[in-house]
Structure 1
Amino acid sequence: MHEASSRPPCRGHVLAALLLVALLSAPSTRAAEGSTPLEDNRRITAGYIQLAQAFQALLDPDFQPGGPSGVRPNWFAFAPHASHAAGKGMLSAAIARHVLDAARERPSLSVREALDRVGLSGEVRLSVERLSLELVAQGLPPDAAASLGALLTGMNGEALADPRSLALTASRFASLYWSAPAPQPLDKAEAMVRTLERTLNEGNVDIFADIGGAANAYLAWRSSTGEVTPERVLAEFPLPGARPEEARLAYGYALAHAHEVPRPHAFDALFPGMDGRSLVVAAFALYERARLTPETLEREALIALANNYLAWREQHDAVQPAFLPAQVHADEVSRPEVMRAMTPMLVVYFGTLKWTLADYAYARPDRDGNPLTSPPTDYGWATFWDRWPPILDSFEGGYREPTALWVMPGPIEDPLAE
């Protein structure tokens, strides 16, 4: 197949400029030494936006930087929004720490006073206060309860309108609090805050280092390769750890099964023992095949399966060590249990499109069949097979409203930072 001849004459210049921007201004794939989690998040989100634009320029001849695209979005168009959602979680942790810092200077007499001191108001205040009061009822001091309630600041607090979710979430928070490796109440609460912040930050950094690093390497290779074909990607792109024979197998499978419903996603069963980096190379080759495919349905099917390959590497390999680290930190509580407690309130805004774990869970059969527990509380985000189907569901929402994703998020700032 050949490049579509209907592309505008300036197309090559626009694409070259986008690739140059991505290569020269994309931040380092590793966290900057001494940076804060929110600084890391701003850098990573901005890097993803650059990569999203560069890859969409390959797929959509009409795409202009900063504008929308009606072509099915590439994986990197989802990534800034997911990174931004993680950043909101880190901001919630920062606000929780402000509650604790204020309490160390002078204890609060009530949850209301503790939350007033950090300026929480509006609808978010209602859900934070609701959980905080439940925690007080379970024996936590007001400041500790308010700090843990503040972890909902960037979350979907509406999920706690279901009293079953509220009760079980409070119980899980309280259990983690009492298990914390610290004698003092504020230190117990800070151990939980620290655990959530580190988990989110390490996961965000690890994904960007892995997938973002591969993408930057691919764009650099592509800019110096001459005419690029899927076959050249599979044979010549030198991603460390990837195996050309595996990448070719995954690529060939995608061409044969791209239109299957449901879309292929259980890659451990389909490709036993395959290195996830081989899927990354296959994904880049599929993007190139999609670029050369004039038929809309075929092109979009190839993009979606390439996205699944990248997302599998992201979730199955890159981020999992952040949820289940090889070495457990002595100053943390259980990372999987923290994520399990937070899971019912998960929310991601893909531009103008809102996706919540609660909506996903209520739309499906109750996993445990217990009417006394709400469906969202049956999921734990640290467990791969608990989060993988919801992530794929969020992709489908983006495919139905592709232009929504191109309303990119802005940087997250801590309004209480000195």
Structure 2
Amino acid sequence: MATLKFLLQSKSDNAPIYLRLSNGRKNPVIYRKIGLSINYTDWSATTGLPKQTTPNNKKLSTRLQKLNTFVSEKLNDVDLENETVNGDWLKFQIDLFFERITENKKSELITDAIQDIIDNAETRKNAKGGLGISKSRVNSYKSLKKIITEYQGTKKYKVKEVNVNFAKDFLKYLINVKKYQVSYATKQIADLKTVCFDAEVNGIPVHFQLKKIDSTKPTNENIIYLSNAELTKIENAELPTDALKNVRKWLLLGCNIGQRGGDLLNINESNFVNRNGLQVIELKQQKTNKNVTIPVLETTKQILNTGLPYKISIQKFNEHVKTVCQLAEINEIIKGGIIEVTEKGKGNKHKRKSNGNYPKWQLIGSHVCRRSFASNLYGILPTPLIMQITAHSTEKMLQNYIGKQGLDYAQQIADFYTLQAQKEKKETNLTVVKKAN
């Protein structure tokens, strides 16, 4: 006959509580930690339960007795379920009782739910309907798991604890303690919601408020791009070194074809192909896995009239492009954020973005290429064509990316009617010339 007993195996003020299962003479005795601890002076070796001296001890004793009953009932079902009683079986029943996992052996802990997405990244359905999420998305989930682990400390939060208040407190932690930008912090909240919804599909209970959690990305207020006039200044600037001239060529090319820094700096001769007599640049974006085809216009040919720039790292580009823009006198004072690096000890560096008003050249990096392309052509080139090159999924995403607001649309409407009025005036001023005999 199987017997269960709780016991301690150390004399410390934080001694782990074990559950011992004796299942007949022919079977080995099994010991497993239950995940709770107690000061050994509060423990009764005689009863195998906490001493009834404090309210907390009485509460803990009640929980242990309920666990004993739960495991005993599961032992009665072993033959019916054709299960093998061993250490793994006992650990599973303990975790099931404390709702650390579900019947389908899925953990209810947030960190485990995140890890499940990471482990199954290759077979997860992506936004395009195919299988496999991008490396950048996997890295995002790895970052989220690290942040959640730091946030919870010794407490292990479950998926069903993620409600409106949890999200608000976590957001405050991200902004006030971790000093993250609001946009990055809200992205973490959005990713956390995705994790919870994914866990729900796997049979893990979620909080009824999950859908009410606000993870809306804030409007991008500091849109940093290079205007056509500024790009002309950069093109005509005197640069002292070949390295800076090379970075300038990458910058001008990037603003001309509208790609992210990582995709831009990987372009080589193989990306240039001829399709039906039209020379184009074909590439697959690293972040989205989208295939993009960009026509090689005259402006692109002029930039590349002496050949492609030589390959450099994104770090070198971001470092030298600021010098290029400084020498081109891109000095307008604007709002933005710069990365400040501080030493954390043992060679580790701590990076944080500091917001303020800075000369524009200090805020320039690889991000400016795609945004400059979209901003300079918005309202000139049809929006769907811009989206085809930038690979934005919706017009709303594009508008938020370049910061188009109601005033911009009002100006476009006014320009349209002004143009129409000019056309009508021109037509009414035309005189009919009599046909000569």
User: For the superposition of Structure 1 and Structure 2, which TM-score range results when normalised by the shorter chain?
Assistant: under 0.3
Larger RCO (CA within 8 A; separation ≥ 6): 1
Q: Between Structure 1 and Structure 2, which shows a larger proportion of helix residues?
A: 1
Q: Between Structure 1 and Structure 2, which shows a larger proportion of strand residues?
A: 2
Which TM-score applies when normalising by structure 2? 0.21
Q: Rg: which structure is higher?
A: 2
Which TM-score applies when normalising by structure 1? 0.22
